[in-house]
Structure 1
């Protein structure tokens, strides 16, 4: 259970922070240092010996908490050592076991109708390469309309691309994204990211369009008319952008969206919104990209959150990372590049992570974790909704799907105070948006953990209400 030894961050963490600052600071956003040998299950131990109930799970990336037996066992897989110390360039010299491993892992849980997967290193690299695949597809269609093969490049195209100029570089094409979205911090992904100014300030961006994402009011059942109108307003703007860009000779090649806009404040929309968004993509011949980096691998209660939308046709791309333990994306057959070496980097992922992910999928299946997410999510939502009634000055706009759950505080300062107080009381939660607290527990977060959270949550509410 929870154990208090010092304030968080404590003296040992402060000492380590001072040392790390002289080495570069590791990005300058360290909260505290973890003791990952001592951490176990859903409990994270810090450098000062505090044991916290972890409801943020390394920015939503730990599927099974700390030192899980299935992952410990995977360490002794005979392939693990050879994959680790002879790391293969998967796109050029993959291990002979790779096709079978993909069948046993990513293709086993592929979204309906998808038979192709590309592994990558992280979520940003997955999204960047999806954008490239979309542009290859779009240009191949344009060449086909001219009677040319996909790789029948003109001399002008080949020479101009080397100096970043048209027609070789399709500088008129774009990816549409949404306000509040987050897709990564590399340049293309960052152009599609609109959640915090600190991510974007000073960095050049592509001239790509941004559409508004619905801002729903809660509780949903009390605001149906407003929310339907808000979603329609956003869909109308999506279509206006599509048409405007098309008229200007700058067509939108693809649209990227998260099932829940996580960094932007856990923004949700209805299944009908996403159905209509896909319909708009089809009408304007654009790829429909679903970024499931934070929502994938059962966190929503479905293996993939978009499964809850009831789409008649699968998205064109589904991106993953975090709980999948490495990055990558699924894609439809028509988006297979016509040439090798166009989607490529040295490692193209990491074979050791595929072995670990095989163990994760075994745990999900044998321990019934997908069903547990539904049960735990419902319990947490009930507790938070009760708090919104009893402490409306502290907790508002409770929302969630599975264990992807959030609520708002009245101000950013109160939100920061709430998160810090929870941490000092022994529960580590995340923040997002301008004033939201978010919960991202591991899949094995159970009802005993819920009870422990409830005690600390009520203690924190009482302290902040004083």
Structure 2
């Protein structure tokens, strides 16, 4: 540890300790208890993955495909912003289970929730919420999910995961579109009978517009909207729906305003043209699905003006707007919902959530609400136990003022990325982010993947995004001390002899 970093850590730890849900003490890991001790720094004694992870990988590979497994974890010992692997290596985690850990590992509030006997019946009896919800279900939805609803939204539907959230969000848009077409009248007998054979008019040829670089999930409808990774789509039957080019902006955004505005206008014109083209072809666009920041597709940003105009185009053409906040929601950008940064004139029609929210689901405007039973439905349509855990998360966010922390830490993290980028322009470019939802590009996929592996072997876990980007998705409890450790290890990894100057 450098003298400068040691001094920074010592001074920062004193300021941060009062705001941390656990003590910041020298490395000492215990079994899961109310009082957890977060490690002071990463500690790596083997390669990652190490021998035990490799052995476990061989066992699991006999049962299922393991090509995506990075390492096995010891979740009993993981704590706060640190994940411990099966070999005992302690890694500062800036990927957090694909951005799904909200307040760190084994947070005391989460442990207390599990130990509370009043919650046991909720955890051991999973109800079919669509037919037999528990008596307190509406109160749980109101006090937790609706307490953080996007401005202007007062309806919510839970789901099990992000992909099924998108699937059912699409259904909601289709159902609402066809109800408008019928002017609110019930379906005809012909529509009811023809849909049973997947034929019109009951099975309407309506479409959803999405964008290049999008990633909305891994089920069939969601993958039809996704254009970030060929593994998400190859060999699968994809819907022939319209795809518009997402703006390809230049960074830093504040230095490339004119060029970026022109690029966004080109994209918006393409959206309008696609909607008109599909309308003329008799395949109207019922909705548009978009991420506030394209996450798996490369952390691609667009301006508030872009999203404002996109909403206007959708409204003018009778297309619903689904804002996919599965990865960007629950505070990672410094506001609870990323689209709040865009100052939209009115709420989107649907806002999808998942990951850090611990449950899938979507908020929706009144006109998106189905009028018949069993239209948006599956066995569970969510899980009350996840709302109980979400209560602990929201309590922590409020009590510890974590959105302010995310904003402050994010600015510090992004400034540090930009400083390292200036030192090593051969390796890093396009540092960008909102809050702690940050990313930076490397020269090519090989260098990016090499960087990820090199940082793991030094005790930092980060993830890929798009073809060349490092994706940073820390917990909301991530602070400047953690950011400094990450930045130190990022710089030292660049300096390693492993990284030769690209030809």
After TM superposition, is the score higher than 0.5?
yes
Identify which of 174, 178, 192 aligns with 2:225: 192
Deviations 1:48-92 (A, max 9, x none): 000000000100000011000110111123342111221111111
Which position in structure 1 is the counterpart of 2:24?
Answer: none
Q: Residues of 2 paired with 1:203 and 1:255: CA distance? A: 22
1:222-237 matched pairs, under 5 angstroms = 222-237=255-270
Deviations 1:22-54 (A, max 9, x none): 0113x5311000000000000000000000000
Q: Residues of 1 paired with 2:479 and 2:47: CA distance? A: 26
Which position in structure 2 is the counterpart of 1:6?
Answer: 46
Instruction: Tell me whether 1:352 sits opposite 2:385 in the alignment.
Output: yes
Which position in structure 1 is the counterpart of 2:119?
Answer: 80
Tell me the secondary structure at the aligned position of residue 353 of structure 1. Answer: helix
Q: C-alpha displacement at 1:97, in angstroms? A: 1.2
TM-score, normalised by the number of residues in structure 1: 0.97
Q: Residues of 1 paired with 2:291 and 2:359: CA distance? A: 18
Instruction: Tell me whether 1:449 sits opposite 2:482 in the alignment.
Output: yes
Q: Residues of 2 paired with 1:78 and 1:167: CA distance? A: 53
Tell me the secondary structure at the aligned position of residue 289 of structure 1. Answer: strand
Which position in structure 2 is the counterpart of 1:143?
Answer: 182
Q: Residues of 2 paired with 1:154 and 1:465: CA distance? A: 66
Instruction: Tell me whether 1:408 sits opposite 2:447 in the alignment.
Output: no
1:5-404 matched pairs, under 5 angstroms = 5-25=45-65, 28-144=67-183, 149-150=184-185, 152-170=186-204, 172-404=205-437
Cα RMSD, aligned residues only:
1.0
Question: Are 2:413 and 2:480, in contact at CA under 8 Å, matched by a contact in 1?
Answer: no
Question: Are 2:407 and 2:435, in contact at CA under 8 Å, matched by a contact in 1?
Answer: yes
Q: C-alpha displacement at 1:388, in angstroms? A: 1.1
Which position in structure 1 is the counterpart of 2:36?
Answer: none
Question: Are 2:417 and 2:487, in contact at CA under 8 Å, matched by a contact in 1?
Answer: no
Q: C-alpha displacement at 1:453, in angstroms? A: 1.4
Deviations 1:304-361 (A, max 9, x none): 0000101111100000000000100000011111101111100111111000000000
Q: C-alpha displacement at 1:450, in angstroms? A: 1.5
Q: Residues of 2 paired with 1:204 and 1:28: CA distance? A: 23
Q: Residues of 2 paired with 1:331 and 1:397: CA distance? A: 34
Q: Residues of 2 paired with 1:91 and 1:444: CA distance? A: 35
Q: Residues of 2 paired with 1:285 and 1:297: CA distance? A: 29
Q: Residues of 2 paired with 1:434 and 1:141: CA distance? A: 41
Q: Residues of 1 paired with 2:53 and 2:379: CA distance? A: 35
Q: Residues of 2 paired with 1:122 and 1:183: CA distance? A: 12
Tell me the secondary structure at the aligned position of residue 432 of structure 2. Answer: strand
Tell me the secondary structure at the aligned position of residue 438 of structure 1. Answer: strand
Q: Residues of 2 paired with 1:377 and 1:306: CA distance? A: 17
Tell me the secondary structure at the aligned position of residue 147 of structure 2. Answer: coil
Consecutive unaligned residues in structure 1, runs of 5 or more:
none
Deviations 1:432-465 (A, max 9, x none): 1001001000000012212221221221121155
TM-score, normalised by the number of residues in structure 2: 0.90
Tell me the secondary structure at the aligned position of residue 106 of structure 1. Answer: helix
Tell me the secondary structure at the aligned position of residue 437 of structure 1. Answer: strand
Consecutive unaligned residues in structure 2, runs of 5 or more:
1-40
Shift of the 211–79 alpha-carbon distance from structure 1 to 2, 3 Å rule, reads farther
Tell me the secondary structure at the aligned position of residue 167 of structure 2. Answer: helix
Q: C-alpha displacement at 1:246, in angstroms? A: 1.2
Q: Residues of 2 paired with 1:52 and 1:404: CA distance? A: 19
Q: Residues of 1 paired with 2:118 and 2:238: CA distance? A: 42
Dislocated runs of 4+, deviation >4 Å: none
